[in-house]
Amino acid sequence: MPELPEVETIKRGIASHLEGQIIKSVLVRETRLRWQVTDKINIILPKQTVISVKRRAKYLLFECDKGHILIHLGMSGNLQILPSNTELKKHDHVDIIFSNGQCLRYNDPRRFGCILWTEAPVFEHKLLANLGPEPLEKTFNGKYLYDRAKKRQVAIKNFIMDSKIVVGVGNIYANEALFTARISPERAAGKVSLNEYKRLADIIKKTLQVAIKMGGTTLRNFTDSAGNPGYFKQTLQIYGKGGEICSQCGTIIHTKKIGQRMTYYCPICQR
Partner DNA sequence: AAAAGGACCTGGTGGC
Partner DNA sequence: TGCCACCAGGTCCTTT
Q: How far is CA 63 from CA 20, 68, 139, 225, in A?
A: 10, 5, 25, 19
Instruction: Give 45 or 53: the residue with its C-beta nearer to DNA.
Output: 53
Q: Which residues contact 58 (CB under 8 A, 6 or more apart)?
A: 2, 3, 4, 7, 72, 73, 167, 168, 170
> How many other CB atoms are there within 10 angstroms of residue 10's CB atom?
26
Residue 110 within binding range of DNA, rule CB under 7 A = yes
Pairing of strands 59-64, 68-72: antiparallel
Residue closest to 199 by CA, chosen among 134, 126, 142: 142
According to CB under 7 A, which residues from 229 to 268 bind DNA?
A: 230, 259-262
Instruction: Give 103 or 165: the residue with its C-beta nearer to DNA.
Output: 165
According to CB under 7 A, which residues from 176 to 195 bind DNA?
A: 189
Instruction: Give 24 or 233: the residue with its C-beta nearer to DNA.
Output: 233
Q: Which stretch binds DNA (CB under 7 A): 36-44, 110-118, 207-215, 244-252?
A: 110-118
Residue 72 within binding range of DNA, rule CB under 7 A = yes
Residue 58 catalytic? Answer: yes
Residue 11 within binding range of DNA, rule CB under 7 A = no
Residues interacting with DNA, by CB under 7 A? 1-3, 6, 32, 34, 57-58, 72, 74-76, 90-91, 109-112, 127, 152-155, 158, 163, 170-172, 189, 216-222, 230, 259-262
Residues tagged active-site: 2-3, 58, 261
